[in-house]
Structure 1
């Protein structure tokens, strides 16, 4: 059952990736049909992360008030409605508005889906199952790139494709149960027991219920935003928000949204070649996310972050140096460097912030904490995406990628100083470490 939970909730991840990536292939057709100034292009592209910022803001409250399941049903409805209006858009303003609605759905689902999977998953498989959400994002991005290549110029069809998965998500979630922890918070003990049995924990259901009950009893019932900055919760808040800020400053969404533009700057002359190179990026993204899922519960979170940040910093530095030297081999170096960068990102920097934000917050503030982390994610996503074309024109490919490399080096230091090893620890063990007053990064020794 946890695998079914991950697959159904993961549909929202597929839509997340598809709706982020589809603009890369649609921009060419949009420029032919509408008058698209650089400002309008930036607004259309940044509308999704900007909408997701507000979706994240509401997501924690909705997931707490109406359940993780209810939040995902609402997200499915918003995904379908936004895709329908996008496909019928009559000008840039209507398209931007529709993509804002899609952004709301993405922000809401980005809180609810990892939370829903995490709270239904056994501790020993939690890393792999929550990482399925990131895999679904990469599959959505790849699907968008393939649609952009196969449907070149048919931007309405590209947007319309997003309606069907949204309907499937909303319909499938109506057949699912909510998480045992949310049901216990609502006093629905029998439903929580049944949910644990459905999750394959029949022999451990009573012990799990007791652990959840003790965790709830030891924490305040009324969660407030201010609690995220209390002495007990602040270490988790810093880790969750910090990882997302560094994820975005590594430059991933500049590459995802503007991949054809990056390849044009790197010397790929034809639009077809730019789109094919972009599909190559999408394939590597999916493949390395699969590798991450296989390793994440074996190697551990901290080691994976080191691998990702160091690998990304090195590959971005290679691209920056090649661009600064105006190498005649820039297109080949840029392509190889971007493949290496995407591999490093997908194996580590991509999935781990989503996983860790669903693990490290105490149960009473978990939805709000995940909402705040997602707000940080989408704020910096929007800033990077909106600023990228101007930065590219101002300091060039070399300067932009050098800045991304520096952010990755900061990520190495951040991981060493603050990030705990949560692999194999139960959600209750992680919460107990926060409440103990001991250093959060020493969790592995306590587990």
Structure 2
């Protein structure tokens, strides 16, 4: 049951990935049909992360009262409307507004889907199950590249295809209940226990279900009547979690991933691949690597742990981006081959760690009373810097070239190694309630994994 729940919630990730990746194939026919300039292109492309920034604020405000399930349903409706409006757009302004609507849906769903999975999953499988969201993102991106190749002359059909997974998301979430932790927090004890039993596929009187429910109930009771504020996020209890969640998303975005996803064909064009079809096929190849390595990451996340995977990921991305930057700066005649190999290594390193782990850890490190608000603020960092990277990439490439931009992204990945080493805790196998007790104890968050192992 829990795998079905994760798969349904993961459809929100597939929609996120599709709406990120579809623009890569749509840009060429859009330039032809609408005659857009680089600034307009940047605004239209960046409308999704900008809308997601607003959606994250809305989701953070409404999550405690409305619940995870209801917000996912509303997100699905926005996804459907945005996809159809994009397909029917008569001009650049309408298309930009449609992508803004899609961005609102992405911002809410990107908070609620990992939270829904995290609050439903058993501790020993939580990392892998939340990573299904990131896997869905990569499948959505790959699907967008395939759609872009199939409809490479027709951007309207590319955008319209986004309505299909949105309808599936609505139907799937409609059939589910809200999470046991949210129900317990709202005082709906009988529903919470019944939901937990269904998710564990055991009777309500099963000792394991009763013990897990009691731990959830006790944590909810400790936070009863509390309404999280921004001051709570800056308190000594929660601030370490906020730093980790925000820092990981900051590093994820400034590593340049969305510049690569949105503008992959452009990167290949700058690297010497002149054929549009070749650019799209090379981009699709990158999408396949993204999916496969995300699966590898899912298999490793609850075995190797969060910290080691992050160290591996940041090392691989720094090396690959640095190699592309050096090849571009020196005018290497093998730039095309080096760019393709470098992007394969970059995507592989990103997919096993830097892609999924910010979503996983964002849903883990905050205490129950501050979880929705904390995830909202972390999401604001994600979408804010997503917007900056996507909007700035065409401008930065024009000013500093591929070497300068990729060199900057490589430096960020080196900083990620230091951040992980000094500040990121190990949450592998630790229940959400244990993490909350550790935060209340006042001990450094970085010690969490050591204490649990001991």
What is the TM-score with the length of structure 1 in the denominator? 0.99
| Counterpart for residue 79 of structure 1 | 79
Residue 340 of structure 1 is matched in structure 2 by 345
Aligned with 1:214 (options 203, 210, 218): 218
8 Å CA contact 1:60, 1:112 repeated in 2: no
The number of aligned residues is 447
Greater Cα offset, 208-217 or 355-364? 208-217
Equivalent residue number for residue 359 of structure 2: 354
Structure 2 residue runs of 5 or longer lacking an equivalent are none
Tell me, yes or no, if structure 1 residue 381 matches structure 2 residue 382. Answer: no
Residue 10 of structure 1: CA displacement?
Answer: 0.6
Superposed CA deviations along residues 17-64 of structure 1, whole A, max 9, x for unmatched, are 000110110011111111201111001100000000000111122221
Deviation at 1:219, TM superposition (A): 3.2
CA contact (8 A) 1:56 1:107 kept: yes
Paired residues for 1:36-435 under 5 Å = 36-200=36-200, 202=202, 203=206, 204-219=208-223, 221-435=226-440
Q: In the alignment, which residue of structure 2 is the partner of 1:4?
A: 4
Deviation at 1:201, TM superposition (A): 6.0
State the alpha-carbon separation in 2 of the partners of residues 189 and 357 from structure 1: 26
User: For structure 1, which runs of at least 5 residues remain unmatched after alignment?
Assistant: none
CA contact (8 A) 2:185 2:221 kept: no
* Distance in structure 2 (CA, Å) of the matches to 1:61 and 1:111: 12
Separation in 2, partners of 1:153, 1:282: 20
Cα deviation 1:71-111 (Å, max 9, x = unaligned): 10000000000000000000000000000000000000000
Task: State how far apart, in whole Å, the 1-side matches of 2:401 and 2:428 are.
Answer: 40
- Offset from partner CA, 1:349-385 (integer Å, 9 cap, x none): 0000000000000000101111111110000000000
Name 1:32's counterpart in structure 2.
32
Does the aligned pair in 2 maintain the 1:433–1:446 contact within 8 Å? no
Cα-Cα RMSD: 0.9
Point out the more displaced range, 246-255 or 35-44.
35-44
SS in structure 2 of the partner of residue 328 of structure 1 = coil
Q: Distance in 2 between matches of 1:301 and 1:124?
A: 13
Shift of 1:167: 1.4
Taking the aligned partners of 1:208 and 1:323, their CA distance within structure 2 comes to 55
- CA–CA distance in 1 between the matches of 2:402 and 2:168? 40
Q: Helix, strand or coil: the match of 1:313?
A: helix
Distance in 2, matches of 1:416 and 1:102, equals 36
Contact (CA 8 Å) 1:54, 1:107: kept in 2 or not? yes
Q: Distance in 2 between matches of 1:222 and 1:320?
A: 48
User: 2: CA distance between counterparts of 1:209 and 1:225?
Assistant: 29
Q: Secondary structure at the match of 1:299?
A: coil
Structure-1 separation of matches of 2:214 and 2:237: 22
Partner SS, residue 303 of structure 2: helix
Per the alignment, in what secondary structure is the counterpart of residue 395 of structure 2?
A: helix
Which stretch shifts more, 62-71 or 322-331?
62-71
User: SS in structure 2 opposite 1:199?
Assistant: helix
Q: Distance in 2 between matches of 1:189 and 1:153?
A: 54
Q: Which moved more, 1:228-237 or 1:32-41?
A: 32-41
SS in 1 for 2:178: coil
**2:16 corresponds to:** 16
Aligned partners of 1:389 and 1:133: how far apart in 2?
A: 29
The worse-fitting range, judged by mean Cα deviation, of 53-62 and 213-222 is: 213-222
Describe the SS at the equivalent of 1:298.
coil
Any conservation in 1 of the 2:69–2:178 contact (CA below 8 Å)? yes
- TM-score by length of structure 2 reads 0.97
